[in-house]
Amino acid sequence: MIRTAAVASLALAASGLLAGCAGTGTLSGTHRQTAFGPVVGKDASRADGTYSWKGVPFAAPPVGERRWRAPADPERWTQPRGATQFAAACAQTGRLYGPGLNNRYDETIGTTLGRTLGSEDCLYLNIWSPAAAAGPRPVVVFVHGGSNITGYTADPLYDGAALARSQDVVVVTLNYRLGIFGFLDQPALKTGDPAEDSGNFALLDIIKALEFVQRDIASFGGDPARVTLMGQSAGAVNVYALLSSPLLAARVQPLFHRVFAMSGGISTAATLPRGGIPGVLPRSVWTTRGQALLTHALVADGLAPDSAAAATLAAARGATENAKYLRGKSADALLDVVRTRLTPLGMSASNPIADGLVLATDPIAAIRAGHYVSVPVLSGITRDETKLFPQLLAIRPDLGGVNGRLLDDGAVFRLAHGYNPEAPPATRIEDWVPAPYLPADRPATGFDARTRELNRLWFEAIRNDALDALRSRQPEVWAYRFDWDALPPPFDTVFGAAHTFDLPFVFGNFGPSLYSRFMFTRTNEPGRVSLSRAMMQSLGAFADHGNPETAALGTRWPAWPQRLVFDADARQARIRAEQAP
């Protein structure tokens, strides 16, 4: 009798726990209920003041017949699912930015360059929430960068604990399909569903994750009516794509309520100044690349002697057989075709496809016409964006016509992973920058001038295009430029305030990461921590009520076309307002 009563008591307690999880107000530890099943996260309240849930499914694995299909709901589960480890990165070719063999920042990143990494079973998200009882809290949903061909949420830069705790927000990071798995316009794959036939599978993944947030984030302490969609680099491109998406503009209930875009844009060549570098290409470009993937795969498999013969074979086979063939190949085999056959032809890039439904044919024109998701927008760029991409100085004679980096990715990683920033410099600028660009400060033709001109034609041009269009429709548009360059030499010149270098400041993460040993020293710590605190508080204010201005800035943040300049000396933040060029 005693044993029976004890069992009944335990059963009652367990049922009460799960009932509490199912509600949006009563939460118990790290047990939470999603629409698909219960999850149990990690209690780090003593270590960093947060609870976290990692590897939470928001869609079914896009594998087999689901490859190149719109994301579907995951299968439901009834038993509590552990959510303490990041899910695998999405399938990609290894680059300098990870994820390596272990889905984390470690030495294997340097040994897996050019190899297939990750998994197609990757549609999972991660959540950090302050452990202190409160809510509902604003939500920040972050979309990582990586040229839409690489990247992973387990990158230590994207850990959401510091931002969640310091700004009392819920932080969400998400995976989305990359490269040919995320963006592919291939006629054989058409189903008759306009959204699915867009080829914008990555954008559909992000939309699916935002639907999860709207439906389930209240169980994690978040407010689904205050969602900030934030992205950096390719993530910013994708965020702007969704901002201008006819599919989302038509929704009565928005999936997000503010946008924070870091170092990205969504321009076609039609709206950029002469020489500007667009991110949105005609759909015909992507159709040609989709066909090239098929024909070159057939050649690689020995089924045709050349591309012309492969095109004839593909036409004879028909759409059903071609789709089955492509879906039957491994991720590694397909990526090998990209690496060895499409890359030499200049067909390795991936970006949103202007299909007219998921992405407007001309996103900037759509914004100017008022056909977009009208929400407050915050945008940032770094002063020296293109010092991370000096290889691109070779694309045109007026930029120098010569690759601006001497070291390959393997050499950069080896140096970065073991560098000691507190010791005397162990490398020189001459080891990094070719002689034609030295001295770096030479007017017009030095490294600083050449990368500044590339920046003007690329990041500044697409930023101005988007913000000018938005400002023509709404007053709630703010911008910043990140100028902090207090790195030890020669990195203060080699990189300066380069692309991605504002991310540690926004997330409050100065621990080990790709460039941390080049950037952070004991000497620059007080100033950068002060600047980071101000930047995080601005994001917190923006997420809370749609305006980034806060007393921590020490100055008023005027709307675009003015901007703030974020900088710091050795001791404290130095923030000022100025007119954008």
Which CATH number characterizes residue 120's domain?
A: 3.40.50.1820
Query: Where among 255, 274, 303 does a domain terminate?
Result: 255
- pLDDT, averaged in runs of 10, over the chain (581 residues): 33 32 51 98 96 98 98 98 98 96 97 98 98 91 98 98 98 98 97 97 98 98 98 98 98 97 98 94 97 98 98 97 98 98 97 98 98 98 98 96 97 97 97 98 98 98 98 98 98 98 98 97 98 98 98 97 98 96 83
φ, ψ of residue 575 in degrees (nearest 5): -120, 135
Nearest to 447 by CA among 500, 394, 400: 400
Q: Are residues 324 and 472 in the same domain?
A: no
Q: Are residues 309 and 440 in the same domain?
A: no
pLDDT at site 14: 35
Helices 319-328, 307-317: axis angle to 10 degrees equals 120
Give CA–CA dist 222/214, Å, rounded: 9
Which positions ≥6 away from 343 have C-beta within 8 Å? none
pLDDT at site 135: 78
Q: Are residues 384 and 327 in the same domain?
A: no
pTM (predicted TM-score): 0.95
Give CA–CA dist 228/208, Å, rounded: 15
pLDDT at site 133: 83
Q: Are residues 340 and 393 in the same domain?
A: no
pLDDT at site 183: 98
The answer to whether residue 131 sits within a structural domain is yes
Q: Are residues 461 and 335 in the same domain?
A: no
Q: Are residues 248 and 160 in the same domain?
A: yes
Q: Are residues 388 and 317 in the same domain?
A: no
- Domain tally, the chain: 3
The answer to whether residue 350 sits within a structural domain is no
Query: Where among 238, 255, 272 does a domain terminate?
Result: 255
pLDDT at site 28: 59
The answer to whether residue 76 sits within a structural domain is yes
Burial of 76: CB neighbours in 10 Å, binned 0-12, 13-18, 19+: exposed
Q: Give the helix/strand (H/E) hosting 182.
A: helix 179-182
Q: Are residues 483 and 446 in the same domain?
A: yes
Burial 499-510 (b: 16+ CB within 10 A, else e): bbbbbbbbbbbb
Q: Are residues 133 and 202 in the same domain?
A: yes
Query: Where among 240, 255, 270 does a domain terminate?
Result: 255
Q: Are residues 317 and 248 in the same domain?
A: no
The answer to whether residue 262 sits within a structural domain is no
The answer to whether residue 261 sits within a structural domain is no
The answer to whether residue 275 sits within a structural domain is no
Nearest to 517 by CA among 442, 437, 412: 412
Q: Give the helix/strand (H/E) hosting 262.
A: strand 258-262
The answer to whether residue 367 sits within a structural domain is no
Q: Are residues 335 and 439 in the same domain?
A: no
Q: Are residues 126 and 185 in the same domain?
A: yes
The answer to whether residue 370 sits within a structural domain is no
Which residue range(s) make up the domain with 489?
376-498+513-579
pLDDT at site 1: 31
